[in-house]
Amino acid sequence: MPGIPCPSCQAYIVPGSLFCGKCGHSFVRQAVPESGEPVCSVHPDLVSVQACERCGAFSCAKCLSVGARGEALCAKCIVREPAELLPWDRREELGLLKAFWKTCVEVMLRPTVTFERVRPDGSIGSSLGFVALAWTVGMLTTFLLYGLILAFMPWDTLAARDAKMPSGMFMRGTMIAIFFFYLLLIPVLGAVGSLVLAGIDHLVLRMAGVTQQTYSVTLRAHALSMGVYLAGLVPLCSAYVIPFWSLGIRVVAYRSMHRTTWGKGALGALVAPVGFVVLGCGFYLAMVAFFMSALPSAR
């Protein structure tokens, strides 16, 4: 929600403010008997500023506050607001790896419940840290499998057959160096990719009319949806299962953390990847058509 409009200057004020920061208008007003104005359910002598967005109870400026998802809540609903954080938000207490593991398990096994109670606010650095760790864990065993296959190939035999080929020791060393290079590069590429993709998703959500939350909320939802990358510990899952699983989780995350509909959540999560697939397929078909037209038989 953008806030509560000031009746004096129409500037939007954060729920819970007692005065307008622009014109100084007081939001705490005594109720006039038999005026017909709605009064606070807790303080019947004060005029209600806005109804609670969760229970609908009329609330005065003293009772109204901002909930975890940015909604205007009354004092009773604020008390009932879940106070527990995701394990990732408690990593100083739990430790980095344990907090990451527990968060991934929650996202994988009960995504709807997890994102319904998760706090949408979080720093960009925290989100990117989760992305980097998710990419590293998700790709580690697959890269290790390919690295072992390449490391144990009969390079000495191949080198003996071809004098121009480097020695087996050189080839094994090269494979190991490539493995560690990509292992270091993966989290960086994952973090940069998430920054860009979350930005596109946020733009799509804004165009769809979802304007309550900031880009950092979209990035956090995008990052947490990568909790399924934990399944990448099973080799090859990262290539064939995780991308589609993560997209499904992202729909749930956007829907819950942006407090929007399933349709808009799906729109925000799927427009970018579907668009990239269409562009990629179009480019591939164009290249095939070009090379086909260049063949002598096509003339």
- Say if 15 falls within a structural domain: yes
CA pair distance 98, 118, nearest whole angstrom? 18
Are residue 144 and residue 278 in the same domain, yes or no?
A: yes
pLDDT bin (cut points 50, 70, 90) of residue 209 is: confident
Are residue 202 and residue 112 in the same domain, yes or no?
A: yes
CA–chain centroid gap for 144, Å, is 27
Are residue 172 and residue 288 in the same domain, yes or no?
A: yes
In this predicted structure, the answer to whether residue 257 has a pLDDT above a threshold of 80 is yes
- Say if 132 falls within a structural domain: yes
Q: What share of the chain in percent tops pLDDT 90?
A: 27
Are residue 148 and residue 20 in the same domain, yes or no?
A: no
- Say if 130 falls within a structural domain: yes
The residue-averaged pLDDT of 264-285 equals 88
The residue-averaged pLDDT of 267-274 equals 91
Are residue 146 and residue 197 in the same domain, yes or no?
A: yes
Tell me what pLDDT residue 270 has: 92
Q: What does the DSSP assignment read for 83-147?
A: ----GGGGHHHH-HHHHHHHHHHHHHH-HHHHHHHS-----HHHHHHHHHHHHHHHHHHHHHHHH
pTM equals 0.67
- Say if 8 falls within a structural domain: yes
- Say if 152 falls within a structural domain: yes
CB 172, CB 151: distance < 8 Å: yes
Are residue 148 and residue 10 in the same domain, yes or no?
A: no
Given 81, 116, 140, which residue is the final one in a domain?
Answer: 81
Are residue 118 and residue 245 in the same domain, yes or no?
A: yes
Given 62, 81, 100, which residue is the final one in a domain?
Answer: 81
Are residue 27 and residue 170 in the same domain, yes or no?
A: no
CB 142, CB 236: distance < 8 Å: yes
Report how far apart the first and last C-alpha atoms of the chain are (Å, whole number): 62
Are residue 68 and residue 115 in the same domain, yes or no?
A: no
The count of structural domains within the chain is 2
Are residue 111 and residue 213 in the same domain, yes or no?
A: yes
CB 50, CB 59: distance < 8 Å: yes
Q: What is the pLDDT of residues 159-205, one digit of tens each?
A: 667 667 677 677 777 777 777 777 788 889 999 999 999 999 999 99
Q: What is the pLDDT of residues 68-111, one digit of tens each?
A: 666 778 877 776 655 457 899 888 889 999 999 999 999 999 89
- Say if 96 falls within a structural domain: yes
- Say if 112 falls within a structural domain: yes
Are residue 5 and residue 96 in the same domain, yes or no?
A: no
Which domain, by its residues, includes 166? Answer: 87-294
- Say if 299 falls within a structural domain: no
Given 34, 59, 81, which residue is the final one in a domain?
Answer: 81
